[in-house]
A and B are shown apart, each in its own frame.
Chain A
Amino acid sequence: MALGGCAWDTPMSTVVARSDFARAILHVYSIVTWVTGIIGVLVFALLILVLVRFRARPGDTTLPQQARGQTLLEIAWTIAPALALLIIAIPTIQVVFRTQSAATAPDALQVTVRGWQWWWEFRYPQLDIVTANELHLPAGRRVVVTLNGPDVIHSFWLPQLGGKRDVIPGRVNHVTLTPEQPGEYWGQCAEFCGASHANMGMRAIVQPAADFERWVAQQQAAPAEPSGPAAAGKAIFAGSACVGCHTIKGFSAGVLAPDLTHFGSRTMLAAGMWPNTPENVAEWVKDPQRLKPGVKMPALGLTDEQAKAIAAYLTSLK
């Protein structure tokens, strides 16, 4: 970016483009910023000029010339803005149609995103993978994201990978994009969806093709059998209400909460709220309602020991 350089490179920056979709948007964004910026500077300059030049001299009671209008000027400053808008309108319409093409590339990676209060479900129907809150994408390959949701309206937004698109229950929306650069990208829900709207973040990990394939294989494999404290944790999990909401493949089949099959492989906890460490998981599992307002996960009255064991188990699910 022309002004400020690195200052704009923050995790959620809308002016750092790392996908074709984001770049197309940034192209129009730049045009629009330049056009409006120039107009703004012009108007300000005129205003300051006027305020300085035509200030009444103290004691001057004469009347200025009582000009009422001038048709030519009116025409001029109607046409000039119209032309400026044309400069904005043309690339706008082009990019609108280019980025909303209904046709899907047959070789695109399909991802279904379901927005829940207050977490993100990611399904890869072609790969039989279900995960939550952390999206992995191969660099350089087109992705078609299908958006829907079971509760209220959310909005799927990974700014560096492109513009946002709403998750609207009862409807299906699509975003098509090709991520270009490997890296970790932040996302967040952008449509107010209730108490913990602020806590509905996500991560998108864009990886070189080989790394992505490794991740896929890891996600498709059955989770490793736990040992030691993790095994105790698994036993507690099996006997608690956890199994009613969470899925761990081959073990529990709840569908109301994030899939935990490979929970240990995720970098963040509770939809981007904290790093996924055993300490954080233990604290979360003990009293989620205190940490994430309104969350539907109840406190199960676990002791510190039990919480630590469950945390050991869950973080072992790589």
Chain B
Amino acid sequence: MTNGNTGAVAGRRVAGAEPRTVYHSPPAVLAGLASLATTVDHKRIGILYGVTAFAFFLLGGLEALLIRTQLLRPHLGVVSAETYNALFTMHGTTMVFLAIMPLNAAFFNYVIPLMIGARDVAFPRLNALSYWIFLAGGLFLNASFLFGTPPDAGWFGYANLTTRPFSPGPAIDYWMLSLQILGASSIIAAVNFIATILNMRAPGMTLMRMPLFVWMALVVQFLIVLAFPAVTVGLIFLLFDRFFGTHFYDVSAGGDLHLWQHLFWIFGHPEVYILILPAFGIVSEVLPTFSRKPLFGAQVMIYSGILIGFFGFGVWSHHMFTVGMGPIADSAFAIATMIIAIPTGVKIFNWLATMWGGRLRPSVAFHYAAGLVALFTIGGLSGVMHASPPVDLQQHDSYFVVAHMHYVLIGGSLFGIFAGLYYWWPKMTGRMLDERLGRLQFWLVAVGFNVAFFPQHFLGALGMPRRIYTYSRGSGWELWNFVSTLGAYVLGLGVLVFVVVAIRSLRTAGARASGDPWDGRTLEWRTSSPPPAHDFDAIPPVYGRDTFWREKYGDARGQKPAPRVETPDPHGIHLPSPSGWPLVIALGLAVAAFGAIYHLALVVIGAGLTVIGAFAFALEHHRNPAHVEQVGNLGVDHRKLAMWTFLGSECFLFGTLIATYLAYKGRSVVGPQPHEILNIPLTTLSTFDLLMSSLLMVLALAAVQRGDRRQARLWLAGTALFGAIFLAFQAYEFTAFVHEGLTLQTNLFGSTFFVLTGFHGGHVTIGVLWLLALLVLDLRGRLGVQDATKVEVAGLYWHFVDVVWIVIFTVVYLIP
């Protein structure tokens, strides 16, 4: 399925020069499944994401149909209460984490490198790793069905219902562990895409010239990187409560149940923007293409996306208007939520203005995009209603919210995804989707969806609560439940018809697609459908925003840019080598997760697989270093940019850990108290030790950079040694505390102290191992001047762990 032609722009090539694709990292001679299991090609990974996510989407849809069937009439008894509770839990968790997010990721993977004129992402093997970890997490979560213990406390899992006393079996463990696994997948991918988008754009593609889809994706990656740590921490607390007897969500020990809700929604609200912004990006590509005019107010659209992302971090407690935060907090979050509606509304108006005065071609992709404009308006407006706390006191946890969320998630996210599917299907498969059947499919989905969910506004207004497996006659809810269920079936049928449309297009009789079937505006249409493995024969020229359109039709005055001679890269095209280690690492995580539930031995085996896989992954290419230039548009090495991005995420991780320590300070019901047990003089010494280790680290880096191998070894070893000394101090402190009666389980102070400092110590340990690995590399003569970036990146991590300790030392030890 690879061919080397570049589609629509014939006549641009230098006569006689044939593209020369030289694979300097020869593709392994693998076939079929083995090739798929080791692929690092962003296009194939994108398709893996898409197919896997669609399968989970169908599963989540089945769960939904069971839910709606049960609610067709009062007391129907199609499923038991326990099964129903598991169904809505799995439906929500599946749709959010296993369907919508990875379907978005499918597009990120396939389209972004093409749109920015790159040949792949910044870290292709890490890209594969994200996919395999996602698959592992999704399979692990659904394995709970096989063992008869699916999670059943909602996708949002409020403590303390999720704590061991109230959820004794493994059901919640499945939910908790799979979310951690899936979170890792998302964060890794996000770091990758940030580095890609910021650093791998083709020459001439400034940030403001990037397509809107890439911009929205960029905002989404930052949201992922910064928001996931909060739920990671919340889940860590739950994990420790459930497995190790800590008291984070233990009311009798002084725990506060608001804590879970804050941590969850600090993640949860940015998460909804993670779910919708890609769809917004797709609409911003589809509407201009099928209106034959540019996106109206493109700059404003970019800024509004950034504002939505940024302010999205300030509204989370609008999910908590009923918990009793007090009128000041309620009002603050209400106003912040209303403010966020403004940039969202601006987008709707700009989309309308894009279509205004256009020549609208009603392709199916356009149907879905226009549909999103209509349906997201409804969903957004019901969201504005929720923003008012008094109104929300009636609407919260009722079917009104169910209606709102499905309007924004189906009418918004899913319609965006379908628009993207119909739009990019030709590019990805080289085939066209049947437009007539596609229009039928659209109407089935659109009608079915509205019949299913508009009446749920009424159900909410009539007081029907959420998450109830049945309801009584006389409640007044019978009619609309009946109607809603019928609509759901039509919606389900519409989804199945898409499968038919898709399969038909892939058959031999399916119509072939050219490189540019829609007369597109962006760079992905400037190569064949599907693109060759190396995406572009020559990196495309960039003339402005909508660069490909400009090339074809000229700028505002119709003036076409001067043709540039495209010469293929004389060094040939380097493609990254496939790797089997991502799959091994992901497998290890899944095995360890099963072990956490069933047997410690599996945890050891799984962890071993993951660690070995990680080392093998890291050292895989040290004999065959990348020839490709790794410094990008920002003038920074990809790896350095990636590390700084990761450290931003770590700010949130440690920030929430430290904040929890402070929130719980003084709330322990029994002793010992901090001032009775903390050894400040000793800890001051260990702080000094860690600070000095940072000094040794910068000396090590300086030595590597000037090629002084002897000093490099000395300072690297010294840093590792000082790090080990810090760990020794900590080990001594922990054992002393246990002796004096303070353990994880003793009280809130024990829980927060050991988890906070323990996780920090874990970070130090990883750092020491990292340094030792670099030392080993150096001893083998493989740490020369050209490898300085590796040491620099390790140093950034090390120093960050140091500054986190600076904060912990002050907040935990010094401040009384």
Contacts and interface: CB of A to CB of B under 8 A. Distances in A.
Interface residues of A, number: 85
Contacts of A60: 359
Which range contains the number of B residues in contact with the other chain? 35 or more
B306 interface: no
A66 B324 contact: no
B408 to A, nearest CB: 14
B360 A55 contact: yes
Interface string B290-333: 01111011111000000000000000000000111011001100
B51 interface: no
A67 B293 contact: yes
B692 interface: no
Given A10-B475, A36-B384, A65-B293, A170 B257 contact: yes
A64 B461 contact: no
B257 A64 contact: no
B108 to A, nearest CB: 27
Contacts of B460: 14
A51 interface: yes
A147 B331 CA distance: 22
A100 B469 CA distance: 32
Contacts of A63: 292-293, 359, 553
Given A43-B348, A63-B292, A63-B553, A10 B462 contact: yes
Contacts of A198: 81, 465, 467-471
Contacts, number: 275
A63 B294 CA distance: 11
Given A190-B465, A293-B82, A78 B335 contact: no
A291 B431 CA distance: 56
Contact of A293 (B80, B258, B391): B80
Contacts of A176: none
A12 B475 contact: yes
Given A63-B359, A194-B161, A69 B377 contact: no
A165 B397 contact: no
Contact of B341 (A68, A81, A152, A191): A81
B293 A100 contact: no
B476 interface: yes
A74 B465 contact: no
Interface string B457-493: 0001111111111111011110000000000000000
B324 A166 contact: yes
Interface stretch (A87-95, A133-141, A247-255, A306-314): A87-95
A92 B293 contact: no
A12 B394 contact: no
A82 B82 contact: no
A69 B298 contact: yes
Nearest to A28: B390
Interface stretch (A155-163, A207-215, A220-228, A230-238): A155-163
Interface in B3-54: none
B784 to A, nearest CB: 51
B462 A13 contact: yes
Contact of A69 (B82, B296, B362): B296
B257 A169 contact: yes
A157 B322 CA distance: 10
Q: In the complex, which of the residues B294, B324, B385 has the most CB atoms of chain A within 10 Å of its own CB atom?
A: B324
Interface of A: 8, 10-15, 24-25, 28-29, 32-33, 36-37, 39-40, 43-44, 46-47, 50-51, 54-56, 60, 62-70, 73-74, 77-78, 81-82, 85, 88-89, 92-93, 95-97, 99-100, 117, 151-153, 155, 157, 159, 162-166, 168-171, 173-174, 186, 188-198, 273, 293-294
Closest 9 CB pairs of A and B: A163-B393, A12-B463, A10-B476, A198-B468, A170-B251, A293-B81, A56-B359, A173-B324, A14-B394
Interface of B: 80-82, 85, 153-154, 158, 160-161, 166, 251, 254-258, 291-294, 296-300, 322-324, 326-327, 330-331, 334-335, 338-339, 341-342, 345-346, 348-350, 352-353, 355-362, 370, 373-374, 377-378, 381-382, 384-385, 387-398, 460-472, 474-477, 553, 556
29 contacts: A10-B476, A11-B474, A12-B463, A12-B476, A13-B462, A14-B394, A28-B391, A29-B391, A32-B388, A39-B381, A40-B377, A50-B355, A64-B358, A69-B300, A85-B342, A92-B388, A93-B331, A97-B327, A97-B331, A152-B158, A153-B160, A155-B397, A163-B393, A164-B396, A186-B475, A192-B85, A192-B158, A193-B161, A293-B80
